[in-house]
Amino acid sequence: MAINLDAIQKRLQEMQQSAKGGGNTGNKDLQWKPPVGKSQVRIVPYSHNKDNPFMELYFHYEIGKRTYLSPNSFGRPDPIAEFAEKLKRTGDKEDWKLSRKIAPKFRVYAPVIVRGEESEGVKFWGFGKTIYQDLMGFLVDPDYGDITDLMNGRDITVEHIPADKDGGFPNYSIRVKPNTTPATEDKAIANLIVNEQKEITALFEEPTYQELETALQNWLQPSSGDEGKVKAGTPISNAPKANTVSDVKSAFDNLFGNEISDAPF
């Protein structure tokens, strides 16, 4: 059940080069978020893709009050991402800011068992680019090897330091244990790891193209007495500049290639 180290090495190099250059949740019980302080987890092989335990996903966090998993995560078209790209090309500063706001954001998930909670089975741990690169660095380091190996892998200590009272962001760091250990010696836990893993879509449901299109339309719908602006209060320009309700509708027509006959614009 070895992972594809060549693929991990290639992806790490891609992310390092990129750095140099510059939904809605379903079953929340499947998600693990590091509590304040130190915790210990073990990344295990993902039974639905044994070559790579890491799942690179993209999310929309700024559309209404919901989080949406972007279909771009699976190589499928996403109307919100398409609209963001369209805004980038207008050459307008405010459009560029809006495109950054609604563009899908990168996050990685990995299957883990949480020490002290092994009987709860495999959960998904979500983290950002920095932790992701750190983990891949350990995997391609011959002194550590495959830290996800079920018999000879390594546990990981995750430390969560909360944001201070003056603001800022919480801080997360990892330390890979020096000793190799079995993921478990309990047959029941082993069965949970190997045979009863859920797919990531059990945690995050992928919306359809139409659902995202509708969500974007509703988010851009001007509120009463605030014509010509999106709900966030930012004018949209789409050559010509979209300063009116009818222009926003035209922008959708141009983007989606069809009339929005029933849209309340």
Q: What is the mean pLDDT of residues 29-46?
A: 95
Q: Provide the pLDDT for residue 209.
A: 96
Could you tell me the residue range of the domain that residue 56 belongs to? 5-80+103-202
169 within 8 A of 163, measured Cβ to Cβ: yes
- Residue 263 pLDDT more than 80? no
Q: Which stretch of 91-105, 157-171, 187-201 has the lowest confidence by average pLDDT?
A: 157-171
- Residue 113 pLDDT more than 90? yes
Is residue 167 a part of any domain in this protein?
yes
In percent, how much of the chain has pLDDT > 90? 63
Number of domains the chain contains: 1
The residue that leads in pLDDT, 28 or 155, is 155
| Res. 231 pLDDT band, cuts 50 70 90 | very low
Is residue 256 a part of any domain in this protein?
no
- Residue 193 pLDDT more than 60? yes
**CATH number of the domain that residue 69 is part of:** 3.90.198.10
Is residue 241 a part of any domain in this protein?
no
| Res. 226 pLDDT band, cuts 50 70 90 | very low
Is residue 153 a part of any domain in this protein?
yes
Is residue 129 a part of any domain in this protein?
yes
| Res. 64 pLDDT band, cuts 50 70 90 | confident
Is residue 87 a part of any domain in this protein?
no
Is residue 259 a part of any domain in this protein?
no
Is residue 108 a part of any domain in this protein?
yes
- Residue 58 pLDDT more than 80? yes
